[in-house]
Every structure is written in structure tokens, then in C-alpha cells.
Amino acid sequence: MERERLAEYLQTFLPMFYKKLMKGINLPGVTKQQLWLLYLVENHDERPMSFYSEKMMIPKSNLTSVAEKLIEEGLIERRYDPKDRRIILLKLTDKGKDFIEECREKTKQAIFKKLEILDDEDVSRLNKLFEEIKYIFNKME
């Protein structure tokens, strides 16, 4: 019963989190899918395209078009697996690293502005709650 209630909370929390904090934050030059792929490549550098398509839950053919724009912009590069040249690996470029850092800073500033309406007590409570959530979620890996 408790796990079911938790699952229901998580289902409603994630859309609410996005709506309250992330909606309206526009990062020029990239779509949300492209940004997601950039973050995945940053965290799992030089993995096959199939790895990223599985993580993003999109067909490999769709991932190719998402990746192509990032390759054209010089944010990621395509490499071939030295063991099997049919396998394409994605690697983050230095320009991609700089772009991600810029996106993080813009997003952080936009979220910071949205949090201005909270008083210090609410901010403190949220920090403690997120520390606990992070601790618990790290157990799931």
C-alpha cells in the first residue's frame, strides 16, 4: 500500500516539478531532446547510439536526427568503434562541454528567480527534503 502511494506521488510530482520550475525556461539553439542527449553523452561518453536511444526511449532512427543537429553544431562528434566500425559512438566536444555549462547556469538563474517567492524557512525545508530524496534515490542504482 505504501509503495503504491509513493508511485502515485511520483507520478504527480514530476509533472508538477516541471510545470513549476522548468516550464518557460528556453535555451536557444537546442530542443529538449537535444539537451537531454547532450547530458547523456556528458555522463556516458563514447557509448553506442543504441545505448542513448534506449536511455531516451526513442527509436535509433529518431536519435540519429536528434544527434545530427548537435554534430552539425559541433557539440558532439561521431566516432566509430575501433573493434566494429559499424557501431557509431557519440563523444562530447569541448564546445559541447562549454554549452552544457552555459545551459546549466541559465537554468539555475531561471530557477533561482522562480524560488524568490519562497521564504527562508521554505527554502531550508526543501533543501532538507531534497537531500533525503537524493540519499534514498541513490540506493536505487
Look at residue 22 in the predicted model and tell me its pLDDT. Answer: 80
Q: How many Cβ atoms are within 10 Å of 37's Cβ, its own excluded?
A: 25
Strand order in the sheet with 47-48: 47-48, 88-92, 76-80
Instruction: Look up residue 69 and give its three cell numbers.
Output: 543537429
Residues 6 or more apart in contact with residue 33 via CB below 8 angstroms: 56, 58, 66
Q: Which domain holds residue 121?
A: 2-138
Residue 141 pLDDT greater than 80, yes or no: no
pLDDT digits (tens, 9 = 90+) for 67-94: 999 999 999 999 998 999 889 999 999 9
pLDDT of 1: 87
- CATH, residue 80: 1.10.10.10
| Domains in the chain, number | 1
**pLDDT attached to residue 132:** 94
Sign of the dihedral through C-alpha 65, 39, 44, 97: positive
With pLDDT > 70 as the criterion, what percentage of the chain qualifies?
A: 100
Cell of 55: 536511455
| Residues listed for the chain | 141
How far apart CA 114 and CA 126 sit, in angstroms, is 14
Looking at residues 41-48, what average pLDDT do you find? 93
The predicted model gives 18-24 an average pLDDT of 82
How far does CA 61 lie from the centroid of its chain?
A: 20
Distances (CA, A) of 136 to 44, 83, 112, 131, 133: 22, 39, 25, 9, 5
Q: Give the model confidence (pLDDT) of 92-136 as tens digits.
A: 999 999 999 999 999 899 999 999 999 999 999 999 999 999 999
